A = this chain, B = another copy of it.
Amino acid sequence: MPHIALDDRIPGLPSLLAFRPETAGPLVALAETLLRGESPLGRGDRELIASYVSELNGCRFCAGSHGACAAAQLPGGEDLVQQVHADLDAASVSPKTKALLRIAAAVARGGREVADAHITAARTEGATDMEIHDTVLIAAAFCMYNRYVDGLGTTLPPDPAIYTEVAKRLTTHGYKSALTRP
């Protein structure tokens, strides 16, 4: 049960966006910029970083919804997302993506957990400054979204198929659609 009085017809983050429209605007603008704005990282890879960090943080709502967004935009689909969530070392992603996801995992543990070795490993696989920057900021941002969603005890959707529906909307119309259609 949520820790505060939220609309019980809306699960997860959207219930918080509806509760506090003043903060919803900047939160959604940030997600749109990070996950769909200009970046050397593809949208699918960015969603994969978001879902992987959410999985590591134990945030089922964010792992489910961003996992579905990643699956919708990556050739490997749902199977690839599940591989990454279950065991990054064994997952069928490129060495560069793997190195960036390891940076994201370090960020999830804490900012000071990112070591020179993580960065060197990513550069060895061809990662640029901008790719490293965007990886760190997306991972950091999901440490926020995850804590917001779980820290206020929001509910999960009754049917996980809803994640696929939500992903269809988000990958087509963008994150700002979350402000009008929870």
Q: Is A173 an interface residue (CB 8 A)?
A: no
Give the residue among A3, A29, A153 with the most B Cβ atoms within 10 A: A3
Measured in the bound complex, the distance between the Cα atoms of B111 and A57 in whole Å is 8
User: Is residue A152 within 8 Å, beta carbon to beta carbon, of the partner chain?
Assistant: yes
Inter-chain contacts of A20 with B (CB < 8 A): 130, 133-134, 137
Residue numbers of A with Cβ under 8 A of B are 3-5, 16, 19-20, 22-23, 25-27, 29-30, 33-34, 37-38, 57-59, 103, 106-107, 110-114, 116, 119, 129-130, 132-134, 136-137, 139-141, 143-153
Known contacts A19-B133, A23-B137, A133-B4: does B112 contact A150 (CB below 8 Å)?
Answer: yes
Report the bound CA distance from A139 to B148 in whole Å: 9
- CB-CB under 8 A for A144 and B151, given A23-B34, A26-B30, A129-B4: no
Give the nearest-CB partner of A4 in chain B.
B129
Q: Looking across the interface, which residue of chain B has its beta carbon closest to that of A153?
A: B114
